[in-house]
Amino acid sequence: GNSVTQMEGPVTLSEEAFLTINCTYTATGYPSLFWYVQYPGEGLQLLLKATKADDKGSNKGFEATYRKETTSFHLEKGSVQVSDSAVYFCALATGGFKTIFGAGTRLFVKA
């Protein structure tokens, strides 16, 4: 069946460090891929998405590229800020809105 695997956290970085959170997926067909972010005490928010191979999603300095050959959708940011501290979820959807989430990766950014 379809599944999403993302790196375990927590990830702790200093401000302005480079961030990578790995995400790989298993799916039949051609899923859309997403990164959601959950800030403390809030609901999940869509961070970025990509709907086909080689698409790059980007938002707020974050980006991820849909790599069909490696079934990956790694999240990157060149310079993190304290305000980026949150839990990040990789997810996929096939056909409509039914979405499968990874376990989430907690990011702590220190000043």
The tally of CA atoms less than 13 A away on the side-chain side of residue 47 is: 27
> Of the ranges 12-20, 22-30, 54-62, 100-108, which one interacts with other proteins (CB under 8 A)?
100-108
Question: Exactly one of 12, 15, 46, 83 binds other proteins (CB under 8 A); which one?
Answer: 46
How many helical (H) and strand (E) elements, i.e. helices and strands, does the chain have? Answer: 0, 12
DSSP 61: T
Residue 69 in contact with other proteins, rule: CB under 8 A: no
Q: Nearest approach, Cβ of 1 to other proteins (angstroms)?
A: 10
> Of the ranges 18-26, 61-69, 74-82, 95-103, which one interacts with other proteins (CB under 8 A)?
95-103
> Alpha-carbon distance 24 to 74, whole Å?
8
> Alpha-carbon distance 67 to 64, whole Å?
9
> Alpha-carbon distance 73 to 57, whole Å?
10
> Of the ranges 18-26, 64-72, 78-86, 99-107, which one interacts with other proteins (CB under 8 A)?
99-107
Which residues are near other proteins by CB under 8 A? Answer: 4, 32, 36, 41-46, 49, 51, 89, 93, 96-104
